[in-house]
Amino acid sequence: MSRVTHSHLENALATQQPAAGPTLDDRLAALALTDKVRLLTGATPFTLHAADTAGLRSLVLSDGPAGVRGPNGDPAETAASFPSPTALAATWDVDAAARLGALFAREARRHGVDVVLAPVVNLQRTPVGGRHFECFSEDPLLTGRMAAALVKALQERGVAACVKHFVANDSETARTEYIAQVDERTLREVYLAPFELTVKEAGAWSIMAAYNGVDDGVEEATSTEHHHLIVDVLKNEWGFDGVVMSDWLAARSTVATANGGLDLVMPGPGGPWEDALVQAVHDGLVGEDVIDDKVRRILRLAGRVGGLDGAENVLDTADLGGTREILRELAARSTVVLKDDGGRIPRGIEDVRTVALIGPNATDAFTQGGGSAYVWPDLQVTPLDGLRAALGGDVEIRVERGGYARPHAPRLDVKGRAIDPETGLPGIRLEIRDATGTVIDSRVHDGENGWWYVTPEAATARLTATVELQEPGEHWLGVGTVGAHRTRIGGVLTGESTIRAGSEVLLNSSVNSPADSGRAVAVAAPVTVDIDVDLQIVDAEAYGRFVRAELRHRLPGRTDEEEIAAAVEAARDADLTVLVVGTNSQVESEGWDRPDLDLPGRQDELVRRVLKVTDRAIVVVNAGAPVLLPWLADAGTVLWTWFPGQECGHALADVLFGRTEPAGRLPWTLPARFEDVPVPDAIPDGKFIAYREGVHIGHRGWLRDGVEPALPFGHGLGWTDWEYTDLHVEDTAEGEVLLDVTVRNTGARPGREVVQAYLEPCEDDADRPVRALGGFAVAEAAPGESTTARLRLAARAFQIWDTGSHAWITPAGRYRVRVGRSVTDLRLDAHVTRTR
């Protein structure tokens, strides 16, 4: 078994014994079969059962890819909002990943969380994938190295990581149904590789089994039942001694999941285990030794996070620095300079007297993605906030949206416009009825949540409100909901469905941004409009039963054309134009895949028209996954800021005005045309998604096809220039190759360079990448200064998975190592010879 130890506590647990007290086997022996099985299903959606006889307290789990959400699901329980994982990967800096891992631990303890459901190490197989922003990269090595550093730092502080989603969970379309067909070599070399790194290099304490199934040529099964991948590979071959838990509601069988290696069913209560698993043991279908192994793993996890015998982990992060400062620096450093003709950044503040801040994402910044990655942020610094703080009050900032870019209308201002029809008080009335139609609960809600949990007796619901429309012009009113409903607005039937919804609305995230129906209302003088909606109760199994209805309202106002024209005028006269375009939460989210890579709305037109009137525009792309930039050749300066988290505006100002270098590099390939993308969709063919591209994921596919993208993997300019002057190669006895790369900062500012090493195979091999990332490192230097970066190419970089022997082998021959600034901007090379 290969493991990494992290502390005195972990050293004790490596022998399956907590730091003090009974051994894990002693604790296990104190439990009856029913007690043991009880521990294997969650007590609630995000907590586990306690067992006093074993000295086990309840453990708390919470979502965490971009911060640690409060486990109680209360919007009042706010959290620090981190830059997205792809933003972290854009730093290409494992030290930054470790620092963020330590911050994850601090946030977890702040919220009483023992297990953070992160990181996501699935790969960005296709740029349209809905959870693209939750993943690190299209490259398995970059993903694995960054994730391992984060996991190690998190767990060193006594908080568990749950690495997810095991495995080939790279699409959102029909994600609970499809089977990924991945050949054995591709699975080993690409999709399992990041998981293997987090287990062997970081000693991950838990892993989440995915919704989808996998056909790896050995076994076809859902991920929660896949004995070959979970037991044979993960646990036996890699020596994983932690807990394998199901994704929420992913476990659907009793015997197959138990014997397939799953250790924990989530969420709880309920699910396929509990009493059914006890019966399966009595019937001889599942051995009690199988149950014991699962319980032992949960006890081991509890020991690692301080959950045995009332132990408390003391978390020391005093040397970490302030949370806001860390997140601000990370958001700025991860920014990628796609283009900067003429050196427009950084700008001198003294040269700026008027600023045009333009774009849908300038007024409505997209700071974090939708779905389980979302946290209710402690605060949110808008682009206007950031620019105002940096420039002071003497600078005039004119803000123009330049058109509405969201698919759905904004939420109705319930407190300001809605009236309860019964009492006349502000708010909306929600009636809950039982199966006989009798009203069992009726109350006024004056908030904007639109998501209400109900008791088991509830059968149907009715929402009513009177909406005040005062402004003259055309208003639009609508209601977004899920499942069976009947919607009447102003006495007119605007939407109706008899199709009932269940827990799938949580799994596909349609509940977060539900489709709507509505109507336009012409207003000459103030009027009131009645909204009346009959709603089904959604039974989401262990998540509970709830009603979902979001009231939406679009005010009269300028047309998109008028807004664009105003934005152009603002840009024409400004000293500095900052044009922020991008996606939004109704476009990029867990639960659905995008149909294309276009910017929503008329944003491309907005950019083109602004660029025609000013050469001082800095275009900022606020998106997590690739979007097409058809105006890229016409723009002087283009920045990519990802989902930057709560410090969005400060980080943008830091980049624009020279406080922090935008030192990011693309962790994926930016397409020029959608039709060039190697894997353009994520749609199952029947029940299967065939990974026909094999190992040629992302930039590997672009190189194989010989197609030039808009910008290559690894690209990023920073704000200085670099010369590569020397490459020294050293073989080690362990089969690694160490590269010492000397670079010189030839620009006028201090800077950070991401030195990248790529490996080309010793002979033509259609089943091997044309060029694969082998190693990377960050170098820093002052103007005119040279520095040497050391890169490590692991022995695995030279290996392939041999399907005949089912083992790793190293093809003999002469390999070419190429070093440079991106996968195509290569400055130095050398050759390395390998023998079998």
Catalytic residues: 247
User: Please, what's the b/e burial string for 184-205 (b: 16 or more CB within 10 A of its CB; e: otherwise)?
Assistant: ebbbbbbbbbbbbbbbbbbbbb
Distance CA 476, CA 498 (A): 25
Distance CA 655, CA 345 (A): 8
How far is residue 182 from each of residues 306, 663, 694, 827, measured CA to CA in Å? Answer: 39, 35, 8, 35
Task: Please give the angle made by the CA atoms of 645, 648 and 651, to the nearest 5 degrees.
Answer: 120
- Residues with Cβ within 8 Å of 318's Cβ and at least 6 positions away in sequence, in order, are none
Distance CA 85, CA 82 (A): 8
Q: In what order do the strands lie in the sheet with 826-834?
A: 772-781, 751-760, 813-820, 826-834
User: Which DSSP letter does residue 236 get?
Assistant: I
- Residues with Cβ within 8 Å of 112's Cβ and at least 6 positions away in sequence, in order, are 60, 71
Task: Please give the angle made by the CA atoms of 219, 225 and 227, to the nearest 5 degrees.
Answer: 55
**Sign of the CA dihedral running 361, 363, 367, 369:** negative
Amino acid present at 508: N
Q: How many CB atoms lie within 10 A of CB 346?
A: 17
Question: In this structure, what are the phi and psi dihedrals at residue 457, rounded to the nearest 5 degrees?
Answer: -75, -15
Distance CA 24, CA 157 (A): 21
Strand 396-400 with 206-209, pairing: unpaired
Question: In this structure, what are the phi and psi dihedrals at residue 567, rounded to the nearest 5 degrees?
Answer: -65, -40
Under 8 Å between Cβ of 569 and 480: no
Amino acid present at 721: D
How far is residue 153 from each of residues 105, 776, 783, measured CA to CA in Å? Answer: 8, 20, 33
Amino acid present at 79: A
Distance CA 65, CA 513 (A): 20
Task: Please give the angle made by the CA atoms of 101, 102 and 105, to the nearest 5 degrees.
Answer: 90
Distance CA 305, CA 321 (A): 23
For the chain, the C-alpha Rg in angstroms (whole number) is: 28
The runs of H, that is alpha helices, within 305-341 are 323-334
State which H helix or E strand residue 151 sits in.
helix 140-156
Under 8 Å between Cβ of 242 and 207: yes
- Residues with Cβ within 8 Å of 675's Cβ and at least 6 positions away in sequence, in order, are none
Under 8 Å between Cβ of 251 and 265: yes
Under 8 Å between Cβ of 12 and 24: no
- Residues with Cβ within 8 Å of 327's Cβ and at least 6 positions away in sequence, in order, are 80, 81, 82, 83, 103, 645, 646, 647
Q: How many CB atoms lie within 10 A of CB 505?
A: 20
Is it true that the peptide bond before 167 is cis, omega within 30 degrees of 0? yes
Number of H helices, E strands in the chain: 21, 36
User: Which DSSP letter does residue 191 get?
Assistant: I
Distance in Å from the first CA to the final CA of the chain: 25
- Which stretches does DSSP call E strand in 555-629? 576-582, 617-622
Candidates 746, 689, 776; CA nearest to 214 is 689
Amino acid present at 501: A
Is it true that the peptide bond before 269 is cis, omega within 30 degrees of 0? yes
